[in-house]
Amino acid sequence: MAKFGIKGLYQKRGWFYYQPPTPENGSARPRAAALETQDLVKAIGKVRELAGDARILAAARKGTLEEVLPIYYREKGEDEKSTRLQREVVLNGFREIVGNVRVSEITAETVRDWRDHLREFGGGKVKKEKGLSPSSLKSYTIVLKAFVKWAGDAGYLRGDPMKRVGRRQVAVKSTRVQEFLGLDERELLLAGAQAEETSEEVQFIVWFGFFTGMRDGEMLAMTRKWLWVSDDWSRGTVTVQDTEIVFNDAGKTRGMWSAKGKRKRVIPLAPRLLEWLRGYGMREPFMLAPQKPLWPAQDGNSKRFDAKKGLAGLARRAGVRKLNYHILRHSFGTHLAMKGVPMVEIAALLGDTVAVTEEHYVGFSPSRVSPVGLL
């Protein structure tokens, strides 16, 4: 008989610990958990929270994904909501693809089959036109690795089926090409932005992207106080700066948004942008999507407005292959470089270091001598 009425509950130097029973599937017995109490009643209550109900006890014996995943989710319940949601999407999808196998039966082959499925079909059983991108596949793999490590520590799994997953292999590293749009494509998009089916938010992003090179987060955080415009609307500036934001909890929490690298910078407004901005008007509390003033999360990184579909639709109607925030920003930097603007000035406008700016744009500078041209 157990000393305290529960098998696996014991006391050491006055403090209580609990070690779950050995699973019947042959896995190693889980490690003991410190209950952080010297009171027997509290200790028994904590044990019941850990392994009191029949479902959790069955999970300890059988160890299938359907039984173990709820335990894992509960242990990680204090994580941020976005992290919990991502974890559930990835791991529930893993269970759908590989089946409700025992955790102890997850092998390297199981993981390879899962990754191959994601590459071809995406995250679920329903076949899609294309699978996950390499960056998304990497994110999914990281989530599964975290679960596998936890399962090993908890005694549900022996060995590491993901030991070799994600290891770097000797290969030629491809060079990242900075995409940008030509002036003719820019004009097609600016003209298409005036169409009725284009929202005001997408219009704002296209105009400020092409003529200021601002990042997506900067546009979202931009308030009226960032803008200075002369009385005759002939001159103006936008100043990227720290801005107070209100989080989506009935306005109870406030925080500060800061630019990347905490660099405050001033960008002159082009005459064409000023002309368009005059019709758009000054908005409160935010210039972009003012009807959505609250930020969803306290880290200040969540988007109040997602322009992905709107920009893709505009590109399709204008006959442009691809359009996003980064392409707008790189088009701004590339056009300046082509006009002969010094790298140090482009860096100041973009909020980047001179080294990063030269890496991206120095090849487009007309003053640069091509070594191949000397042959």
pLDDT in tens, 264-318: 899 999 999 999 999 999 998 899 988 888 888 776 667 788 899 999 999 999 9
CA–centroid distance for 65 within its chain: 26
What is the pTM (predicted TM-score) of this model? 0.57
User: Which element (helix H / strand E) includes 120?
Assistant: helix 108-121
pLDDT at 177: 58
For residue 203, CA distances in Å to 213, 276, 307 come to 14, 10, 10
Instruction: Measure the CA–CA gap between 360 and 338, rounded to whole angstroms.
Output: 12
pLDDT at 374: 62
Instruction: Measure the CA–CA gap between 260 and 249, rounded to whole angstroms.
Output: 25
> What strand order describes the sheet that includes 236-240?
227-229, 236-240, 265-268
pLDDT in tens, 107-123: 888 898 898 888 888 76
Among 87-96, 117-126, 165-174, 364-373, the range with the most confident prediction by mean pLDDT is: 87-96
**Closest by alpha carbon to 212, among 277, 308, 260?**
277
Instruction: Measure the CA–CA gap between 144 and 138, rounded to whole angstroms.
Output: 10
Position 38: which residue type? Q
pLDDT at 121: 81
Q: Is residue 175 helix, strand or coil? A: coil
pLDDT at 15 over 80: yes
**Terminal Cα distance for the chain, rounded:** 90
For residue 225, CA distances in Å to 18, 53, 116, 215 come to 58, 57, 50, 18
pLDDT at 365: 85
pLDDT at 256: 87
Beta carbons within 10 angstroms of residue 174's beta carbon:
6
Beta-sheet pairing, 294-295 with 243-247: parallel
Comparing 72-81, 174-183, 348-357, which segment has the lowest mean pLDDT? 174-183
Domain ranges of the chain: 9-154, 183-364
On whether the 183-364 domain is CATH 1.10.443.10, my answer is yes
pLDDT in tens, 31-41: 777 888 888 88
Calculate the average pLDDT of the chain. Answer: 83
Residue 56 pLDDT class (50, 70, 90 cuts):
very low
pLDDT at 257 over 90: no
Beta carbons within 10 angstroms of residue 272's beta carbon:
12
pLDDT at 23: 66
pLDDT at 54: 41
By CB atoms closer than 10 A (0-12, 13-18, 19+), residue 262 is exposed
Percent of the chain scoring above 90 in pLDDT: 36
pLDDT at 178: 67
pLDDT at 207: 97
Q: Is residue 219 helix, strand or coil? A: helix
Among 140-154, 240-254, 270-284, the range with the most confident prediction by mean pLDDT is: 270-284
Percent of the chain scoring above 70 in pLDDT: 85
- Residue 258: which residues within 8 A CB-CB, separation 6 or more? 242
Instruction: Measure the CA–CA gap between 215 and 205, rounded to whole angstroms.
Output: 10
Residue 371 pLDDT class (50, 70, 90 cuts):
low
Higher pLDDT, 372 or 281: 281
